[in-house]
Amino acid sequence: MPAIQIADLTKRYGDITANDGVTFDVESGEIFGYLGPNGAGKTTTIRLLLGLINPTSGTANVLGADIRDRRALTATKADVGYLPDDLGFEERLTGRQALEYFARMRGDERRDELLELFNPPLDRRIETYSHGNKRMLGIVQAFMHDPDLVIMDEPTAGLDPLKQDRLYAFLEEEAGTGTTVFFSSHVLSEVQRICDRVGIIREGALVALEDIDVLLTQSGKDVWVHLAEPVDEERFVTPAMIDVEIVDRTARFTYTGEYNALLAHLVQFDIENIEIGDPQLDDIFKHYYGDDDPAEDHGDDGPAGER
């Protein structure tokens, strides 16, 4: 059984639709990337999965528990870890006291192991923590009871590059032992780096659901061409070229057609240099969001500040 099953999940706030008929599964043991800019509906989906808000229609199963069944979902949460974007720790507590609180609720058999990897200053009050130290404390509390499923909302926010790399390696190891990771992010590079599959959400609706490698392959090739003479755009551009940028003797575009057809077309021109490569996920993202900046804050998609 998939770790998460989402079926036509919809959440409306008056005239605002934060999630619109979202449907997908997350398989056990995979790292699933849920991608979209702030305001797209990612955090709404997470809050629905955790039972923090109720769906307007549709439903989801989390480790076999229907999110509409409060008793079943509460029992299942013992096997779920959660790292929210807004960590919400009691600021007056020390890090050690906060972990003791979570340990009493859920257990902490992996606490020492995790503190060796992610070492927040346990004996200082959380109100003195940097954003990165709060994030490391949050990672420890999310995994220390050895959950089967961990839901993470913007998990690397505030972490320095070394700690980010440490988290990526840790998540890959966890997935290798069967832990499922649901990974919400607007950071395209990290999703491309560690996720097995990606779902892209736009304005509350799922607009893509695919293996990372397949998504990259289906999205064409990045092509850069430098010609001996200025480019005649009318003669050079074909319908299979999208996102074309031409400056004097240089053309850059994404090619979505057959590669042999591209090569047959280009031999008509006097080419000095050419590069053909796979697109990055941020280029694919632009196809779904146009000129929107993936890192830009597009505002809340619900009255409680959900994203």
Domain with residues 4-215, CATH architecture: 3-Layer(aba) Sandwich (3.40)
Of 170, 173, 201, nearest in space to 185 by CA: 201
Residue 139 tokens, joined: 């990672």
Topology of the domain covering 220-278: Alpha-Beta Plaits (3.30.70)
Start-end of H helices in the chain: 42-49, 70-76, 95-106, 111-117, 131-143, 161-176, 188-194, 212-218, 233-236, 259-266, 281-289
Amino acid 300: pLDDT: 41
pTM score: 0.77
Helical axes 161-176 vs 131-143, angle rounded to 10°: 10
Structure confidence by residue, pLDDT tens digits, 137-149: 999 999 999 999 9
Contact status, residue 28 vs residue 291, Cβ threshold 8 Å: no
Beta bridge mates, 252: 224, 245
Of 284, 282, 260, 263, nearest in space to 274 by CA: 263
Residues in the chain: 307
Where does CATH 3.30.70 sit in the chain? 220-278
Question: pLDDT exceeding 70 applies to what percent of the chain?
Answer: 89
Of 33, 1, 34, 38, nearest in space to 18 by CA: 38
Q: Cα–Cα distance between 84 and 135 in angstroms, integer?
A: 9
Read off the pLDDT of each residue in 125-140 and give the average, rounded to a whole number.
95
Is the pLDDT reported for residue 102 higher than 80? Answer: yes
Where does CATH 3.40.50.300 sit in the chain? 4-215
Contact status, residue 101 vs residue 125, Cβ threshold 8 Å: no
Structure confidence by residue, pLDDT tens digits, 262-293: 999 999 999 999 998 866 666 667 666 665 54
